[in-house]
């Protein structure tokens, strides 16, 4: 009986290590990046930033991950994050996979340190919006980084901050 219990424990550890190592391989080798970050809207709640996330999988294995939770920060200080979702996404080997658009609202309270600079930029934003029909993140002139967390094949992965603007 003890031999069976020991074998089952050893098998469970082997399965967990296999999942963890395959997730770590994707985390170490894959490239998660934002595409076309832009200001989606500005309202009483704050500034809503919208971006598409893509994952490049250079490995020869397909993996399953949850939709990443994206966190925005400025100079290392947390500003806002996307809502967590339990949605599972299949990442095929040697492909680029699009992960839907993510919208994050930067609340006015979190942007308080930049308030005076933001007020001075409003005329430029209006001119840019009239000429291009949209606003890009560079027009905010706020240093933004993003990081993400997700589960890959059941193993939790958290990225280091990546410069956005």
Letter string b/e over residues 25-64, b meaning 16 or more CB atoms within 10 A of that residue's CB: ebbeebebebeebebbebeeebbbbbbebebebeeeebbe
- The pLDDT of residue 14 is above 70: no
Predicted local confidence at residue 10, as pLDDT:
65
pTM: 0.74
Strand partners, 73: 78, 145
- The torsion angles phi and psi of 61, rounded to 5 degrees, stand at -125, 145
Other CB atoms within 10 Å distance of the CB of residue 128: 17
Contact 104, 78 (CB under 8 A): no
DSSP 112: G
Q: Could you name the CATH architecture of 2-163?
A: Distorted Sandwich (2.70)
- The pLDDT of residue 70 is above 90: yes
- The torsion angles phi and psi of 12, rounded to 5 degrees, stand at -65, -45
Predicted local confidence at residue 86, as pLDDT:
87
Calculate the average pLDDT of the chain. Answer: 80
Residue 134's H or E segment, with its range, is none
Mean pLDDT of 10-26: 57
Domain ranges of the chain: 2-163
């Amino acid at each position: 009986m003890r031999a069976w219990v020991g074998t089952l424990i050893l098998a469970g550890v082997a399965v967990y290590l296999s999942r963890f190592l395959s997730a770590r391989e994707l985390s170490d080798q894959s490239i998660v990046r934002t595409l076309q970050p832009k200001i989606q809207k500005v309202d009483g709640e704050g500034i809503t930033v919208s971006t598409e996330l893509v994952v490049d999988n250079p490995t020869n294995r397909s993996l399953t991950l949850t939709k990443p939770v994206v966190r925005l920060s400025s100079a290392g200080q947390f500003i806002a994050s996307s809502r967590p979702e339990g949605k599972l996404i299949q990442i095929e080997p040697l492909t680029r996979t699009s992960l839907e658009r993510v919208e994050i609202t930067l609340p006015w309270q979190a942007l308080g340190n930049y308030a005076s600079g933001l007020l001075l930029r409003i005329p430029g934003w209006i001119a840019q919006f009239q000429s291009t029909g949209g606003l890009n993140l560079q027009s905010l002139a706020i240093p933004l980084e993003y990081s993400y967390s997700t589960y890959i094949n059941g193993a939790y992965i958290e990225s280091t901050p990546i410069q956005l603007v």
